Amino acid sequence: MIAEITWMHWVGFVVAVIIFLALDLGVFHRKAHSIRFKEALIWTGVWATMAMGFAWGLYILRGQTEALEFITGYIVELSLSMDNVFVIALIFGYFRIPLAYQHRVLFWGILGALIMRGVMIGVGAALVRQFEWTLMIFGAFLVYSGIKMLFAKEEGVEPEKNVVMRLARKWLPISPVFETHHFISLVNGRRMFTPLALVLVMVEATDLVFALDSIPAIFGITTNEFIVFTSNVFAILGLRSLYFVLAGAMEYFRFLKVGLSLVLVFIGAKMLLPMFIHLSTPISLGIVGSIILISIVASLVSQWIPAQEADEAGTNQE
């Protein structure tokens, strides 16, 4: 018998997330420190294991279909977040944020992202319930975004051109220097925002832009609000540790953007042409997973071959 999702499940999930976040900041990362690769990899595994544990719980309570929808949504959201990782790394580099302070910025940035995405999912779900043709608009937007991503040129981060950043600098009192890991400091008896607060604003604005792609994408997999919300939350929670794992190695994933663009086009096409493209959840999961896996393998191989050729050339010269 399939269990019904009630308000108690929603409340229980949100409370559990709040407890995990409180433990994260208040216990495991109470003191600001540099997150090393090994620690980040462990935490990435912890969040991924928790996500799969949640999927197993869904399988028991709601059946195979919703469990696979959750896994597909989780993979799509996490994959799209990998592109966000690269942009966040550029932001930290632009502002020269010390490594010890980056986790704190990501923590509060992701907390804001959870609230923001929760609101966007609620609005999106309400639109889909009221106007089913909204899914067609989402699909068209995803196809457009996928094609645009495929042909877009790599650009650096230019905060001075960001509207949100310009407004923040204009209307908020900003301190010229860092004040340890705080977002607000006392300067000459006046409370001012630190440069770290500006970085937090930039990270939030960046996530908003990426959410415009990821939220419609998850609705292309399922319109179940609980699955949409929970898969988004688990992907966002894993983003912090994923950042410290991948931030220094994004140049090795040169074809990932191609894979992500194809995923967006595939999901968008499913939403635009439901009469012609009707695939089961397991098949959709297989296609999405295969596209992302092939793009990652192709990226690594493209880096490995020149390295091997360089090694062979060096050996022959000797």
**pLDDT per residue as tens digits for the range 147-167:** 988 887 665 556 666 676 777
Residue 48 lies in a domain: yes
**Residue 310's pLDDT is what?**
59
Residue 110 in contact with residue 240, Cβ under 8 Å? yes
Question: Three-state SS across the chain?
Answer: CCCCCCHHHHHHHHHHHHHHHHHHHHHHCCCCCCCCHHHHHHHHHHHHHHHHHHHHHHHHHHCHHHHHHHHHHHHHHHHHHHHHHHHHHHHHHHHCCCHHHHHHHHHHHHHHHHHHHHHHHHHHHHHHHHCCCHHHHHHHHHHHHHHHHHHCCCCCCCHHHCHHHHHHHHHCCECCCCCCCCCEEEECCEEEECHHHHHHHHHHHHHHHHHHHHHHHHHCCCCCHHHHHHHHHHHHHCHHHHHHHHHHHHHHCCCHHHHHHHHHHHHHHHHHCCCCCCCCHHHHHHHHHHHHHHHHHHHHHHHHHHHHHHHHHHHHHC
Q: Which residue has the higher pLDDT, 293 or 111?
A: 293
Residue 285 in contact with residue 318, Cβ under 8 Å? no
User: Residue 105 sits in which domain range?
Assistant: 12-305
Residue 315 lies in a domain: no
**Residue 239's pLDDT is what?**
82
**Residue 230's pLDDT is what?**
94
Q: Which of 8-12, 79-83, 127-131, 216-220 has the lowest mean pLDDT?
A: 79-83
Residue 62 in contact with residue 70, Cβ under 8 Å? no
Q: Which residue has the higher pLDDT, 193 or 229?
A: 229
**pLDDT per residue as tens digits for the range 25-69:** 666 666 666 677 777 888 888 889 999 999 999 999 998 999 999
- The Cα 193–Cα 173 span in angstroms is 6
**Residue 22's pLDDT is what?**
79
Residue 311 lies in a domain: no
Residue 313 lies in a domain: no
- The Cα 103–Cα 106 span in angstroms is 5
Number of domain units in the chain? 1
Partnered with residue 184 across adjacent β-strands are 193
**Residue 237's pLDDT is what?**
85
Residue 7 lies in a domain: no
Percent with pLDDT over 70 in the chain: 84
> What does pLDDT average to over the chain?
81
Residue with tokens 């609705």: 219
Residue 316 lies in a domain: no
Residue 19 lies in a domain: yes
Phi/psi at 192 (5° precision): -135, 155
Task: Show the tokens assigned to 31.
Answer: 């003191």
Residue 276 lies in a domain: yes
Phi/psi at 5 (5° precision): -80, 120
Residue 204 in contact with residue 195, Cβ under 8 Å? no
**pLDDT per residue as tens digits for the range 236-268:** 888 878 887 776 666 677 788 888 889 889 898
**Residue 196's pLDDT is what?**
83
**pLDDT per residue as tens digits for the range 73-129:** 999 888 887 777 777 877 887 778 877 788 778 888 888 888 888 888 988 888 888
For residue 176, pLDDT beyond 80: no
For residue 275, pLDDT beyond 80: no
For residue 318, pLDDT beyond 80: no
- The Cα 288–Cα 78 span in angstroms is 12
